[in-house]
């Protein structure tokens, strides 16, 4: 049977009114079939207070930061002009178990149209219960929200696609978690979209092909408007973004921690910062999440998991590849098989840059692997090993000599190689103990100074002129470090 083609035209934002603070909210997602969303309001909180406002991000969205010191707004007690709040429905493979989900503690206010004409979701995280909350309270604690703020800002400064945090406000209410009562907070998340692999799985699980088609068209209009081909071409674009994103994570030692299919965005942005962290000592088996007992989401597994998730996306969108199921499966399998090559391409390009290699030689992968093996054996700090290389130090003596010879075989000068390395190897990442220190000061003592100091350092991760051991050294004992979802 021929599936009817939806034509979702992005609304024309030209005559959209702009509020004094710069709000210009549109609602293209809300035009998707009813099954994808539920309208509802945030639940007001007792005593909203601003904790942090991301002024540069506000300005880039066309908002006037001086008019945004508005705790009521960022806690969900009042709404920006033109908001049409809704919770999004989705599903997901959590670990390997398929579940129907949805925004259990998030509410989308609308899509901000920037002065450049770009479209960004504005979403409150922690605004109270929704029909998808199940047994949860729909709330969030201050620590995990500030954690998301810090890590997503660090990712952005590292040049890695990510959702951003516009603001964090406290609620004056207590949220109850395993470890007792914690201060409640709401984070305002900005994302190219919140469409997840799980959103497609949701449409597929309902057996609603028209909804599936509408979602695919909508997503393509938002993220790949230039594509003219069919679903295959769109799927390749999605895959390519993921391959590049995961390679970028690997290049800085980032571990997402919960790569469930509901935490993978079609936009190719890093999303849902829960038990994530940057690795100190290099070990591909590193896991931080307290509940990841089998290491499914370990550092070294991330490319394989991304491919697994994309296979779930392919399954969910099978009817869009071809009306004949057998042919559709063939096409989908052929595409999924290309993931490894795509990932390796981006990984190798980035690793060459980290070593200052401006040309390609066949043995480069072996040179890189041999350094990683040495790092693994000696438990070398991931970030600082590469930072040391930019200063001409590091690696075993044999490896170092091999690397020097390799550098001499390329026509580029040493200066050029060093410039490339400085751009590719951060001097500063969010060290786990510095993040914890900042969160503890903010959550327990209301002291935001450590967080702001940390954010300042993380805003310039490639500034190799600063020598700040306090922010660049790993903690003395980092073994067994665990992070929690904060749910
Ligand atoms: P996450 O592990 O954060 O990706 O969340 C998985 C699912 O659980 C999502 O549907 C969330 O909306 C939901 N969830 C997480 N925390 C809460 C909470 N405190 N209250 C209600 N739902 C929640
Ligand atoms: Mg999630």
Could you tell me the distance, in angstroms and rounded to a whole number, from the CA of residue 56 to the centre of ligand 1? 29
* Contact (Cβ atoms closer than 8 angstroms) between residue 45 and residue 75: yes
Last residue of a domain, one of 170, 195, 220: 195
- Residue 55 inside a domain? The answer is yes
Ligand 1 neighbourhood includes 76 CB (under 6 angstroms)? no
Is the distance from the beta carbon of residue 263 to the nearest atom of ligand 1 less than 6 Å? yes
Give residue-wise pLDDT tens across range 100-114: 999 999 999 999 999
Predicted pLDDT of residue 351 = 98
Question: DSSP class of residue 181?
Answer: E
Q: In the beta sheet, which residues pair with residue 124?
A: 107, 188
Distance 248 CA to ligand 2 centre (A): 21
Beta carbon of 289 within 6 Å of any ligand 1 atom: no
Tell me if 414 is assigned to some domain. yes
Q: Whose Cα sits closest to atom 2 in ligand 1?
A: 485
Which of 103, 217, 262, 280 is labelled catalytic? 262
Note the pLDDT of residue 196: 98
Tokens of 303: 């490319």
Ligand sitting nearest the alpha carbon of 291: 1
262 labelled catalytic: yes
> Is the minimum distance from the CB of 128 to ligand 1 under 6 angstroms?
no
Residue with the smallest CA separation from ligand 1 atom 11 is 104
Torsion, Cα 160 163 164 169, to 10 degrees, reads -150
Residue with CA closest to ligand 1 atom 16: 487
Our answer on whether the CB atom of 292 is closer than 6 Å to any ligand 1 atom is no
In a domain, 338, yes or no: no
User: Which pLDDT belongs to residue 73?
Assistant: 98
Q: Is residue 101 in a domain?
A: yes
Residue 433 within any structural domain of the chain: no
- Could you say which of 195, 227, 249 is where a domain stops? 195
Q: Which residue has the tokens 């709040």?
A: 85
For ligand 1, say whether the CB of 103 is within 6 Å of any of its atoms: yes
Helical segments of 102-186, H only? 142-157
Please report the pLDDT score of residue 330 as a whole number: 98
- CB under 5 Å of ion ligand 2: residues: 262-263, 272
Atom of ligand 1 nearest to the CA of 137: 20
Residue 250 lies in a domain: no
Taking the chain (487 residues) in runs of 10, the rounded mean pLDDT of each run is 45 83 98 98 98 98 97 98 98 96 98 97 98 96 98 98 98 95 97 98 97 98 96 98 98 98 98 96 95 95 98 98 98 98 98 98 98 98 98 96 98 98 98 97 95 98 94 81 63
Question: Is there a domain that residue 160 lies in?
Answer: yes
Domain boundary among 195, 230, 252: 195
DSSP collapsed to 3 states, 293-338: CCCCCCHHHHHHHHHHHHHHHHHHCHHHHCCCHHHHHHHHHHHHCC
**What are the C-alpha distances in Å from 314 to residues 90, 96, 157, 341?**
16, 16, 32, 18
Range of the domain at 373: 347-380+391-424
CA of 260 to the centre of ligand 2 (A): 8
- In terms of C-beta density within 10 A (0-12 exposed, 13-18 middle, 19 or more buried), how is residue 43 classed? middle
- Ligand 1 centroid distance, CA of 7 (Å): 32
Considering every ligand atom shown, identify the ligand nearest to the alpha carbon of residue 275 and give its number: 1
What DSSP character marks residue 210?
H
Q: Judge if pTM exceeds 0.85.
A: yes
Could you tell me the distance, in angstroms and rounded to a whole number, from the CA of residue 139 to the centre of ligand 1?
9
- For residue 106, which atom of ligand 1 is closest to its CA? 12
Which residues touch 464 (CB under 8 Å, ≥6 apart)? Answer: 387, 390, 422, 427
Choose which residue among 43, 91, 104, 173 to substitute to test ligand 1 binding: the one with the highest number of ligand atoms within 8 A of its C-beta. Answer: 104
Count of domains observed in the chain: 2
Is the minimum distance from the CB of 272 to ligand 1 under 6 angstroms?
yes
- Confirm whether 482 is domain-assigned: no
Helix ranges, 166-317 (H): 197-205, 209-223, 231-252, 302-316
């Amino acid at each position: 049977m021929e599936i009817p083609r939806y034509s979702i035209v992005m609304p024309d934002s030209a005559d959209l009114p702009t509020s004094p603070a710069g709000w210009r909210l549109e609602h293209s997602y809300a035009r998707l079939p009813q099954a994808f969303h539920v309208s509802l309001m945030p639940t007001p909180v007792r005593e909203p207070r601003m904790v942090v406002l991301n002024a540069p991000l506000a300005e880039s969205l066309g908002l006037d930061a001086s008019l945004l010191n508005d705790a009521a707004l960022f806690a969900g007690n009042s709404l920006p002009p033109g908001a049409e709040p809704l919770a999004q429905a989705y599903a997901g493979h959590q670990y390997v178990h398929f579940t129907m989900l949805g925004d259990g503690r998030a509410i989308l206010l609308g899509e901000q149209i920037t002065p450049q004409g770009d479209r960004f979701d504005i979403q409150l995280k922690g605004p109270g219960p929704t029909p998808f909350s199940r047994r949860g309270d729909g709330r969030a604690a201050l620590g995990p929200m500030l954690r998301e703020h810090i890590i997503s800002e660090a990712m952005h400064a590292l040049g890695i696609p990510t959702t951003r945090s516009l603001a964090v406000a406290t609620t004056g209410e207590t949220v109850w978690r395993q470890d007792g009562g914690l201060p409640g907070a709401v984070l305002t998340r900005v994302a190219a979209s919140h469409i997840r692999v799980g959103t497609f799985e949701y449409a597929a699980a309902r057996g609603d092909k028209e909804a599936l088609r509408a979602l695919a068209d909508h997503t393509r209009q938002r993220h790949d408007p230039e594509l003219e081909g069919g679903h295959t071409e769109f799927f390749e674009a999605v895959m390519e973004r993921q391959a590049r994103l995961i390679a970028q994570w690997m290049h800085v030692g980032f571990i997402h921690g919960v790569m469930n299919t509901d935490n993978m965005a079609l936009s190719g942005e890093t999303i849902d910062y829960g038990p994530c962290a940057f690795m100190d000592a290099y070990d591909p088996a590193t896991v931080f999440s307290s509940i990841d007992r089998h290491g499914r989401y370990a550092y070294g597994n991330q490319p394989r998991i991304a491919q697994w998730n994309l296979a779930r996306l392919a399954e969910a969108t099978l009817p869009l590849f071809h009306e004949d199921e057998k042919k559709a499966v063939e096409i989908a399998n052929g595409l999924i098989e290309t993931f490894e090559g795509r990932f390796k391409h981006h990984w190798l390009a980035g690793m060459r840059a980290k070593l200052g290699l401006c040309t390609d030689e066949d043995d480069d992968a072996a040179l890189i692997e041999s350094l990683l093996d040495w790092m693994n054996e000696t438990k070398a700090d991931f970030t600082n090993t590469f930072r040391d290389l930019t200063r001409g130090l590091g690696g075993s003596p044999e490896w170092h000599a091999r690397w020097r010879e390799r550098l001499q075989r390329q026509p580029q000068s040493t200066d050029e190689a060093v410039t490339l390395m400085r751009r590719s190897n951060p001097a500063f990442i969010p060290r786990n103990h510095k993040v914890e220190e900042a969160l503890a000061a903010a959550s327990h003592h209301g002291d935001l100074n450590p967080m702001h100091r940390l954010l300042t350092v993380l805003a310039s991760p490639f500034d190799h002129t600063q020598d700040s051991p306090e922010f660049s050294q790993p903690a003395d004992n980092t073994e067994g470090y665990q992070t929690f979802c904060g749910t």
